[in-house]
Structure 1
Amino acid sequence: MSVREASTPVEENLSYPASIPAVLVERLRDYPNDVYCERRGASGMFEQITVRDYARDVFTMARGLIGHGLKPGDRVGLMGNTSYDWVVCDLAIMCAGGVVVPIYQTSSTKQVEWIAENSDLTTLIVESEEYANVTAPVVEKLSLDLHVIDRGDVKRLQGAGKETPQDEVDTRIHALQPDDIATIVYTSGTTGNPKGALLSHANFMHHAVNGVENPALGGTVLAGQDSRILMFLPLSHVFGRFIEFVCLYSRCVVGYTPSMKTVVDDLGDFKPTWLLAVPRVFETVFNKARNAGKLQKMIFDWASRVAHAYSVAQDRGGPGLGLKVQHAVADAVVFSKLRKALGGDVAYAICGGAPLGQWLGHFYRGLGIHILEGYGATETAAPTSVNLPGHLKVGTVGTAFPGASLRVVESGEIQIKGPHVFHGYLDNPEATEEAFDDGWYKTGDLGKLDDEGYLTVTGRVKELLVTAGGENVQPAVLEDSLRRHTLISEVVVVGDRERFVGAMITLDGEMLPGWLKTHGLPAMSVEEAGRHPKVREALDVAVKYANENVNRAQSIRKYVVLPRDLEQTKDELSASLKVRRPVVMKNFAREYAALYDK
């Protein structure tokens, strides 16, 4: 296999802000009365916050941090749910010259301690008493300056900020340079301690500017104050964080919701025009709609086939009259209700973090929502490739983002170059050197580039299995297909140096009750369901469908259903909820042995 390379040039004559805080300064100067965001207020309704209000909150907190002793370059930890307070803290730390270190809400005390020590934190801001309790031993051990948002500490900081002149904040903002480190974002750490990726202001803003100024994105998805996004993904992830800065630059209105539990009501009340989500969100919406009842399931299955066929036909000259009629009926009966459940105005969704799969991509396009799959990593601060409106190829993660270059080398690994690529890992020169090949960042992902420059991600280099018969197997191809099934939560495909490929499957405890009811079965535990013949029949079909993606030697011959779901507290999932294979294999050694009759 020869090296294949693709890149997309930047728009001409663009100017780039010197820093992320500089964007806020410019926005305040030019559009002070813009709506920056909306959040639920005391009335329970979404209330508007202007750019002037947001800047006031950010600057007064920055002054408070300075008055509290924060020096330029100091690292500040930030741990909490997605909220307006989170983004105020984020920008305030930067405006004070500090470096933001986001910490996953799911992190354990041990994980927080590693990040705090490795990044040399001086200050820690957490949202609630829950996070204060998790971090308490670390705060005491390292003598950190702790602020708890729910205790009113941020308000007190903002009050204390009145003693510090705004000129000091202005001076610190003006001193920031594009290559200064804005944030240290820790990788998920599926194999050992996470590494701190050093990301600069330019890493984010170069891509943000090029995305907004791109005619395909800027004219549709990121169309100023007419664009609205409901933000519910964790801002500790680089994916959501990049979109935060994109919206600041593009004038898009952001709605903040802290919990997936309220997201259905929030979608209806906020009415976004586009969404940002991982595939699991779209899978859940699909599965819940499908399991509304036996009759509804039959209607939904028919409508979903129509949506899929309608989307596929768009790539093959357009749908015929018969399909158009079916689509109109399906739209009235099913599609319009689904769109309403997502707020009613959503036309586009940006999706990343894992493959969505062709079937769901076609389904959503068929019902009127174009899912723009993209690809990136913590180390790239932003997407490296993305499907664009009007240039969508379902099943791929799109073409190179403006300003980015990507290549697939002979081994099949995807490598990336561009102004969005990180500055290395904190205090880890060996890992930094290992991460690059002649200036190209080695992602560790495997992929393919087609003749039009569209990228497809096929798996991970380190997860490649080699069976006893010498067959190379990429688990991701099988796992991603299986995870789309209503009943399935997690899948770990195994078979390295074994006679055949197997799978360890966990059931989705949230979706199980609805599935049982739809299929006329009594309530039962996850462990009981894993042994039930009807459940096993459904899993057999899911495995058969997944196996259609590979040849016979690579197919799953046997599977076991684990008695419980994977748990982060048992180290089976990373802070970003990625599967830690070695830990799963160890914790479920008996089930693994049963697969191979050991």
Structure 2
Amino acid sequence: MRETTTEPIARISDDVNVTHGVLALAEAQPDHPVYAVRNGAGGWLDVTVTSFLEQVRAVAKGLIGLGVEPGSKVAVMSATSYSWAVVDQAIWFAGGISVPVYETSSTHQIAHLLADSQAKLVLIGDEALRTKVQSGANMAHGKNSGVEIYPIAGTADLEEIAANATNVTNSQLEAARRTAGADDVATLVYTSGTTGKPKGARITHRNLAEGAANIVPFASDILGEGESRTLLFLPLAHVLARAVQLICLHRGIQVAHTGDTATLMEDLSSFRPTWLLAVPRVFEKVYHSAAAKAEAEGKGRIFEAARATAVQYSQAVQAAADGTGSGPGLGLRAKHKLFAKLVYGKLLEKLGGEVTHMVSGASPLSPEIVHFFTGIGVPVQEGYGLTESTAPITLNIPGATRIGSVGLPVPANTVKIAEDGEVLLKGPVIFDGYHQSEAATGEAFDEEGFFRSGDLGSLDADGFLTITGRKKELIVTAGGKNVYPTPLEETVRSHALIAQTVVAGDNRPFVAALVFPDPEAVAAWAQRAGYGEELTVAEVLAHNGAGAALRAEVERAVQAANELVSQAESIREFRIIDAEISESSGHLTPSLKLIRAKVLSDYAETLEEIYG
């Protein structure tokens, strides 16, 4: 199949913007809880849609009092929080355009976003960010930049902004709220910059509101209704988290926030979400941590048997759904039932005990890990999207899931595969173009109006999309062999001791890999094996027995990856790198996407040793 479309479920009129969804919910269910905030005693307080709207309107009036006019750009630099949710809607109520900024951004990145967007008001979630933002503003506009900075860390800060609403009437606020139509820009979201300087994607009110209107009924079995709730911990500066938050608001799903992953497990336990959104690295960490904990407690064999049973059970269920198998046999069902009591229930309790579905996005997730979670009773539904598609444009849903794929198009959208394998996209979620870059906008679309995603993929006979890699990351060896690095990297990275893997080989005689171990996992593994306590990766590599054992583990992971490809595409050599690939090292984006060119550049000397 070369092209597939899912018919639209909903359309919005041209005069609608994203504020209409919350107003409609408030009119229908004024006491419905849409958010939850910490109560200071380890629990949560409900925030009704009426209370939320009161705060939004008060802050919106304050923003107008500070000079925000229809079309004004307002930057928001904050960790994921309830305050972020309030100011996001308040900016739209004031007629403004939000410009999310990752709180981990460097001064140079802030300067670029402020200069390109022309935002003159910045809302910060932490007072510690003020100096960095001011430096970025000075770099962008000079010392007399005119950029104003206001904190939004808590209720008192929001009230302080609201206090600027001198003489702003309700009718003025309503007029400002109604200014934007469906095809006006709602937010400028800057791309991750994995292949160049970040570009501001013009996301319209239609992209957000019509996208939500179509995905809510499409994904209703995941989202739930009534008492449905989720804990949001991905950065709200990322379009995926923002889109999901808006979807929840339109659906009436209660959202709690945590901007600190250190408290994530406690927050899951206290809030008890019914579904979760995460990126692959979170699922990988949970998966490997559970295995390591079982091994440390002397229950490694039991966990391995439980893990294998979960994967086999899910694979059997998938085969039955695809019409290629009869489902789990009697013996497999019996083992699965036993491990549900011994192992799976404890794992589910760590997620809060009430999670029924999880959604993974932003980058590929190993099918084995998807099968594992699905097999223990919490299906992981993979989806696909980009900043330019306002995040989810395809999604696996209950009853229409193909593990290994990223699902079917969300209603009203079309996926097409170009002759060279590039994934082309069209629909109401596709962005309006790049801010102040019409040349880049023109290059981003083909002659039929399809957005060129830059990803390579395929559609199966039923219209499920599978992503095979990035077009710009395609490796062509010196022998002319095309190699897609992503599947190889995913397989190697699925090993419990490995955090990241980067495959190289462009214009080289063979394929090689840089392997970055997970320091915590390696330390725990070394202790269990009796090599010593709290060893660093460097100490393990320097230890005769431990170093050889670690290399053997990596070799096994590499061989598992090589089984997926031909000999010409296989990894011939690898190097274990004693370093961490992270956002702070400059090798990962805030959404944990690999900046491949940066890694290959910084480790060019190691690559020369391999090929020399």
Other-structure match for 1:334: 343
The question of 1:88 aligning with 2:82 is answered: no
Residue 35 of structure 1 contacts residue 49 of structure 1 at CA under 8 Å; is this kept in 2?
A: yes
The question of 1:480 aligning with 2:490 is answered: yes
The question of 1:169 aligning with 2:176 is answered: no
Other-structure match for 1:290: 291
Q: Secondary structure at the match of 1:443?
A: strand
The question of 1:536 aligning with 2:546 is answered: no
The question of 1:573 aligning with 2:588 is answered: yes
Residue 230 of structure 1 contacts residue 270 of structure 1 at CA under 8 Å; is this kept in 2?
A: yes
Give matches, 1:99-110, under 5 Å. Answer: 99-110=97-108
Residue 478 of structure 2 contacts residue 508 of structure 2 at CA under 8 Å; is this kept in 1?
A: yes
Give matches, 1:29-178, under 5 Å. Answer: 29-140=27-138, 141=142, 142-150=145-153, 152-161=156-165, 163-178=167-182
Quote the Cα distance in structure 1 between the aligned partners of 2:487 and 2:54: 48
In the alignment, structure 1 segments of 5+ residues that lack a partner are none
Other-structure match for 1:235: 236
Residue 229 of structure 1 contacts residue 274 of structure 1 at CA under 8 Å; is this kept in 2?
A: yes
Q: Which amino acid aligns with 1:239?
A: L
Quote the Cα distance in structure 1 between the aligned partners of 2:198 and 2:472: 16
Other-structure match for 1:549: 564
Q: CA offsets, 1:373-402, max 9 Å, x none?
A: 111100000311111111111111011111
The question of 1:197 aligning with 2:209 is answered: no
Shift of 1:291: 0.2
Residue 11 of structure 2 contacts residue 213 of structure 2 at CA under 8 Å; is this kept in 1?
A: no
Task: Say which of 433, 451, 456 aligns to 2:442.
Answer: 433
- Of the structure 1 ranges 102-111 and 584-593, higher mean CA displacement relative to structure 2 is found in 584-593
Q: CA offsets, 1:553-573, max 9 Å, x none?
A: 111111111221135455333
Quote the Cα distance in structure 1 between the aligned partners of 2:165 and 2:470: 48
Shift of 1:16: 8.6
Give matches, 1:246-325, under 5 Å. Answer: 246-294=247-295, 295-314=298-317, 315=319, 316-325=325-334
Other-structure match for 1:526: 537
Q: Which amino acid aligns with 2:260?
A: S
**Is the alpha carbon distance of 1:12 and 1:107 closer, same or farther for their aligned partners in structure 2, counting shifts above 3 Å?**
closer
Give matches, 1:576-587, under 5 Å. Answer: 576-587=591-602
Q: Which amino acid aligns with 1:194?
A: P
Shift of 1:279: 1.1
Other-structure match for 2:186: 182
Residue 43 of structure 2 contacts residue 271 of structure 2 at CA under 8 Å; is this kept in 1?
A: no
**Is the alpha carbon distance of 1:471 and 1:9 closer, same or farther for their aligned partners in structure 2, counting shifts above 3 Å?**
same
Residue 94 of structure 1 contacts residue 182 of structure 1 at CA under 8 Å; is this kept in 2?
A: yes
Residue 72 of structure 2 contacts residue 97 of structure 2 at CA under 8 Å; is this kept in 1?
A: yes
Residue 268 of structure 1 contacts residue 342 of structure 1 at CA under 8 Å; is this kept in 2?
A: yes
What is the identity percentage for the equivalent residue pairs of Structure 1 and Structure 2? 37
Residue 11 of structure 2 contacts residue 210 of structure 2 at CA under 8 Å; is this kept in 1?
A: no
Shift of 1:122: 1.3
Quote the Cα distance in structure 2 between the aligned partners of 1:363 and 1:384: 25
Q: Secondary structure at the match of 1:183?
A: strand
Other-structure match for 2:505: 495
The question of 1:207 aligning with 2:211 is answered: yes
Q: Which amino acid aligns with 1:380?
A: S
Residue 306 of structure 1 contacts residue 323 of structure 1 at CA under 8 Å; is this kept in 2?
A: yes
Other-structure match for 2:322: none
Shift of 1:86: 0.6
Q: CA offsets, 1:552-597, max 9 Å, x none?
A: 111111111122113545533334443322322222222111211x
Residue 27 of structure 1 contacts residue 249 of structure 1 at CA under 8 Å; is this kept in 2?
A: yes
Q: Which amino acid aligns with 2:528?
A: T
Quote the Cα distance in structure 1 between the aligned partners of 2:526 and 2:105: 33
Quote the Cα distance in structure 2 between the aligned partners of 1:494 and 1:569: 22
Q: Secondary structure at the match of 1:462?
A: helix
Q: Which amino acid aligns with 2:521?
A: M
Q: Which amino acid aligns with 1:300?
A: F
Quote the Cα distance in structure 1 between the aligned partners of 2:15 and 2:406: 28
Q: Which amino acid aligns with 1:307?
A: A
Q: CA offsets, 1:187-211, max 9 Å, x none?
A: 0111221000000010011121111
Residue 10 of structure 2 contacts residue 213 of structure 2 at CA under 8 Å; is this kept in 1?
A: no
Q: CA offsets, 1:180-238, max 9 Å, x none?
A: 10000000111221000000010011121111123xx22x2223332111111111111
Give matches, 1:427-466, under 5 Å. Answer: 427-438=436-447, 439-466=449-476
Quote the Cα distance in structure 2 between the aligned partners of 1:283 and 1:418: 32
Residue 14 of structure 2 contacts residue 181 of structure 2 at CA under 8 Å; is this kept in 1?
A: no
Q: Secondary structure at the match of 2:242?
A: helix
Quote the Cα distance in structure 2 between the aligned partners of 1:92 and 1:581: 37
Shift of 1:258: 1.4
Residue 530 of structure 1 contacts residue 562 of structure 1 at CA under 8 Å; is this kept in 2?
A: no
Shift of 1:167: 1.8
Shift of 1:536: 1.1
Quote the Cα distance in structure 1 between the aligned partners of 2:522 and 2:104: 24
**Is the alpha carbon distance of 1:512 and 1:364 closer, same or farther for their aligned partners in structure 2, counting shifts above 3 Å?**
same
Residue 273 of structure 1 contacts residue 345 of structure 1 at CA under 8 Å; is this kept in 2?
A: yes
Quote the Cα distance in structure 2 between the aligned partners of 1:515 and 1:506: 15
In the alignment, structure 2 segments of 5+ residues that lack a partner are 320-324
Q: Secondary structure at the match of 2:313?
A: helix
Quote the Cα distance in structure 2 between the aligned partners of 1:572 and 1:341: 30
Moved over 6 A (4+): 12-17
Shift of 1:14: 7.3
Q: Which amino acid aligns with 1:146?
A: I
Number of residue equivalences: 592
Quote the Cα distance in structure 2 between the aligned partners of 1:437 and 1:575: 29
- Of the structure 1 ranges 574-583 and 262-271, higher mean CA displacement relative to structure 2 is found in 574-583
Shift of 1:13: 7.8
**Is the alpha carbon distance of 1:515 and 1:133 closer, same or farther for their aligned partners in structure 2, counting shifts above 3 Å?**
farther
Quote the Cα distance in structure 2 between the aligned partners of 1:268 and 1:394: 28
**Is the alpha carbon distance of 1:547 and 1:347 closer, same or farther for their aligned partners in structure 2, counting shifts above 3 Å?**
same
Q: Which amino acid aligns with 2:180?
A: L
Q: Secondary structure at the match of 1:93?
A: helix
Q: CA offsets, 1:480-521, max 9 Å, x none?
A: 122222221221100111111000111222333222233333
Task: Say which of 367, 379, 383 aligns to 1:358.
Answer: 367
**Is the alpha carbon distance of 1:16 and 1:276 closer, same or farther for their aligned partners in structure 2, counting shifts above 3 Å?**
farther
Residue 348 of structure 2 contacts residue 355 of structure 2 at CA under 8 Å; is this kept in 1?
A: yes
Residue 527 of structure 1 contacts residue 564 of structure 1 at CA under 8 Å; is this kept in 2?
A: no
Q: CA offsets, 1:299-355, max 9 Å, x none?
A: 111101000111111122221111111001111111011111111111111111111
- Of the structure 1 ranges 163-172 and 406-415, higher mean CA displacement relative to structure 2 is found in 163-172
Q: Secondary structure at the match of 2:397?
A: coil
Residue 39 of structure 1 contacts residue 257 of structure 1 at CA under 8 Å; is this kept in 2?
A: no
Residue 15 of structure 2 contacts residue 180 of structure 2 at CA under 8 Å; is this kept in 1?
A: no
Quote the Cα distance in structure 1 between the aligned partners of 2:146 and 2:125: 19
Shift of 1:546: 1.4
Q: Secondary structure at the match of 1:221?
A: helix
**Is the alpha carbon distance of 1:377 and 1:254 closer, same or farther for their aligned partners in structure 2, counting shifts above 3 Å?**
same
Other-structure match for 1:395: 404
**Is the alpha carbon distance of 1:420 and 1:545 closer, same or farther for their aligned partners in structure 2, counting shifts above 3 Å?**
same
Q: Secondary structure at the match of 2:506?
A: coil
Q: Secondary structure at the match of 1:175?
A: coil
**Is the alpha carbon distance of 1:577 and 1:327 closer, same or farther for their aligned partners in structure 2, counting shifts above 3 Å?**
closer
Q: Secondary structure at the match of 1:452?
A: coil
Quote the Cα distance in structure 2 between the aligned partners of 1:539 and 1:390: 37
